[in-house]
Amino acid sequence: MSVGIAVMVGLEDDIEFKFGIIPHYRIYFGGKKANGFFIEGNAAIISSRDEFYDDYYYSSYPSNYKVKTYTNFGLGAAAGAKFLTKNGFVGEIYLGAGRLFGSNNIEAYPRAGITIGKRF
pLDDT tens digits, 65-118: 777 888 999 999 999 999 999 998 999 999 999 999 987 777 888 999 999 999
pLDDT tens digits, 31-61: 888 889 999 999 999 998 877 777 666 666 6
SS in 3 state form for 94-120?
EEEEEEEECCCCCCEEEEEEEEEEECC
Give the range of the structural domain holding residue 65, as residue numbers without chain letter: 2-118
- This prediction has a pTM of 0.77
Could you give phi then psi for residue 81, rounded to 5 degrees? -145, 140
CA distance 100 to 33: 32
What domain count does the chain have?
Answer: 1
Contact present, 31 and 58 (Cβ < 8 Å):
no
Q: Which residues of 31-42 are buried (b: 16+ CB within 10 A; e: fewer)?
A: eeeebeebebeb
Strand-pair partners of 111: 96
